[in-house]
């Protein structure tokens, strides 16, 4: 597989696609497919950019030397640290350019929000005090890949914000957090050894697994109670199976498929939610 595709971490991309999908469906007759497409490019670019940025920052810190998960470009020697850093910066620049186009078409405040998103993406593992090393990664993911991505996509098409767009953002944000939680559960033991205080490290193994399952439960409750999306109950057996696997104590390499399945769950959930909103 191409090394840059490996570094982009395709398993995490549903977190970028899901908010655009549901927000566009919610926009209904007011949807603007051109702006939706631009929003999708921004979302995907930010997700890929943060993956490259994490690869670079963790690589130069030495955090990935004994990593259990998929290969990282810097740590494995597939690419130099400078090349990966450049890839991150180029991807962020592309996201900024597309975001600027959307801002010109709608509201210049989008530029400030986009700049904040890029700074947050870099600061997750980059800089002197990366907040991802202090257990705040899930909060950032919920805010940017849940609230900002969903409400923002809805806004650039309708040019207003509704309460429903915020409600729709809740399950999407919870599932994005679940993807990160699965990743951090897998790396918890190694992260603890190197002083990386992710939320999984802070909570400990058992409670971090409960947190993962809670995020899945919140997802279903938000869709059912807040949006009356009974169609999403079709995914309940899959969610229960995933929860049982995590609570069953799978560790190490066994958690890699969990990450992929959580991404697939988010994409399927977004698709069923989008159908409900369209109906």
pLDDT (tens digit per residue) in 242-256? 999 999 988 877 888
d(C-alpha 242, C-alpha 253), whole Å: 15
Distance CA 169, CA 277 (A): 13
Does residue 184 contact residue 208 with C-beta atoms inside 8 Å?
yes
CA distance 45 to 197: 27
Over 80: is that where the pLDDT of 47 sits?
A: yes
Q: Are 198 and 191 spatial neighbours (Cβ–Cβ below 8 Å)?
A: yes
* pLDDT, position 207: 96
- Say what the pLDDT of residue 26 is: 95
How many Å apart are CA 219 and CA 198, to the nearest integer?
A: 22
Q: What is the mean pLDDT of residues 132-153?
A: 92
Could you say which architecture CATH assigns to the domain 3-278? Orthogonal Bundle (1.10)
Residue 220: CB atoms within 10 A of its CB come to 18
Domain ranges of the chain: 3-278
Query: What are the residues whose beta carbons fall under 8 Å from the beta carbon of 226, sequence distance 6 or more?
Result: 167, 170
The pLDDT of residue 64 is above 70: no
Residues in CB range of 119: below 8 A, 6 or more apart: none
* pLDDT (tens digit per residue) in 153-208: 999 999 999 999 999 999 999 999 999 999 899 888 888 888 888 999 999 999 99
């Amino acid at each position: 597989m191409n090394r840059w595709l490996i570094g982009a971490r395709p398993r995490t991309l549903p977190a970028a696609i899901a908010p655009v999908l549901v927000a566009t469906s919610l926009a209904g007759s007011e949807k603007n497919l051109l702006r939706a497409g631009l929003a999708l490019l921004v979302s995907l670019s930010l997700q890929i950019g943060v993956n490259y940025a994490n690869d670079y920052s963790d690589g130069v810190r030495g955090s990935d030397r004994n990593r259990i998960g998929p290969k990282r470009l810097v740590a494995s020697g597939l690419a130099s640290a400078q090349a990966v850093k450049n890839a991150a910066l180029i991807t962020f620049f592309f996201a900024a350019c597309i975001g600027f186009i959307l801002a010109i078409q709608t509201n210049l405040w989008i530029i400030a929000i986009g700049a904040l998103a890029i700074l947050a993406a870099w600061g997750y593992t980059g800089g002197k005090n990366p907040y991802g090393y202090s257990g705040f990664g899930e909060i950032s993911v919920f805010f940017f890949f849940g609230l900002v991505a969903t409400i923002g996509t809805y806004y650039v098409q309708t040019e207003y914000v509704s309460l429903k767009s915020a409600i729709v953002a809740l399950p999407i944000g919870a599932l994005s957090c679940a993807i990160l939680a699965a990743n951090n559960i897998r790396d918890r033991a190694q992260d603890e050894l190197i002083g990386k205080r992710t939320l999984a490290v802070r909570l400990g193994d058992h409670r971090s697994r409960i947190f993962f399952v809670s995020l899945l439960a919140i997802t279903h409750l938000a869709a059912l109670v807040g949006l009356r999306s009974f169609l999403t109950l079709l995914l309940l057996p899959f969610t229960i199976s995933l929860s049982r696997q995590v609570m069953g104590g799978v560790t190490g390499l066994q958690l890699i498929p969990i990450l992929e399945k959580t991404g697939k769950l988010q994409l399927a959930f977004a698709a069923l939610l989008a159908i409900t909103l369209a109906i």
